[in-house]
């Protein structure tokens, strides 16, 4: 099923007041540097530190009493993991999250802190997806996909609803892409141009749009929150239907974007949250002078040592 804007509106109704309405902040410095009227959607202030609970809670809410009793299982490098742990606790379901070796220790501990069990048997994202389906079959748990699910996409689209309410003349919305849940949801919710940004070293959606179908990739970017090994079929379909644009940024540009947001906007984001701002700073997003542009800072879950290394360089 391909979700619609009506599904996004229904998702907002379903979520009610259980999540934060995150602020949209104007940025005089970004506006001066780019020639646009730039605003920042600060999703790092959402529960669990990223936009992820919007869609995950919609999905977990939809499960039957029997499914909740059996528990849920998901997969993530960290942000969706924390969202699944939090959302499952909200509805009284047990959560198992498949992660993989080398993911952020901070995100692992945060996921456990929200109440989930973490499986770390997989060596990389590709193996982790295989492990997910193996464990789901063995345990009977309901799979909560971190991005490629109509309800998850609809929930993430509530970011877009808030943007157009706070910036009614928004002409361009720039958002990070991992597997595509956020950017496809935002595209459903708005009539603005939507530009998705990925790291050059983790470009699952970019490759999928070029090929016309999901293509496996080997994520290797510092933006670990965007390390999807393959774009979703549903997120790709929505992105194609809604003409989502795709641009790539280097890890060096991501680091520069993160330093900018920390120093000038006072936003302690993670590398994945900085990619859309990085694209603006690098001049990779086209727009007319004076247009209203909104950049989404999608999360703030970053290990202290990673932040120190980037901010101090």
Q: 27, 41, 52, 88: which is the annotated catalytic residue? A: 52
Query: Residue 136's CB: how many other CB atoms inside 10 A?
Result: 18
Q: HSE on the CB side for 42, CA within 13 Å? A: 16
Active site residue 52: yes
Residue 89, burial from CB neighbour count under 10 angstroms (0-12, 13-18, 19+):
middle
Helix ranges, 140-179 (H): 150-156, 158-166
Helix (H), strand (E) at residue 28: helix 28-34
Q: Which residues are catalytic?
A: 52, 298
């Amino acid at each position: 099923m391909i979700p619609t804007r009506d599904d996004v509106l229904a998702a907002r109704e379903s979520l009610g007041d259980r999540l934060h309405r995150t602020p949209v902040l104007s940025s005089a410095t970004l506006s001066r540097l780019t020639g646009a009227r730039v605003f920042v959607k600060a999703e790092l202030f959402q529960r669990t530190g990223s936009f992820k609970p919007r869609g995950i809670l919609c999905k977990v809410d939809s499960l039957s009493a029997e499914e909740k009793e059996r528990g849920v299982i998901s997969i993530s490098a960290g942000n969706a993991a924390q969202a699944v742990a939090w959302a499952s606790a909200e509805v009284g379901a047990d959560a198992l999250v498949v992660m993989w070796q080398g993911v952020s220790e901070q995100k692992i501990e945060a996921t456990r802190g929200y109440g989930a069990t973490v499986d770390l048997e997989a060596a990389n994202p590709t193996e982790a997806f295989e492990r997910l389906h193996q464990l789901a079959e063995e345990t009977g748990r309901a799979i909560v996909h971190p991005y490629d699910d109509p309800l998850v996409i609809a929930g993430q689209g509530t970011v877009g609803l808030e943007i157009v309410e706070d910036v009614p003349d928004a002409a361009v919305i720039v958002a990070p892409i991992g597997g595509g849940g956020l950017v496809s949801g935002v595209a459903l919710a708005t009539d603005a141009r939507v530009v998705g940004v990925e790291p050059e070293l983790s470009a699952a959606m970019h490759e999928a749009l070029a090929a016309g179908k999901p293509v496996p990739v080997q994520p290797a970017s510092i933006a670990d929150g965007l390390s999807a090994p393959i774009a979703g079929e549903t997120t790709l379909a929505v992105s194609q239907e809604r003409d989502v644009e795709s641009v790539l940024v280097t890890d060096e540009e991501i680091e520069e974007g993160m330093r900018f947001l920390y120093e000038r906007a006072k936003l302690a984001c993670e590398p994945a949250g900085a990619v859309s701002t990085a694209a603006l700073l690098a001049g990779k997003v086209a727009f007319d002078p004076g247009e209203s542009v909104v950049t989404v800072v999608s999360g703030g879950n970053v290990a202290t040592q990673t932040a120190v290394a980037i901010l101090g360089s």
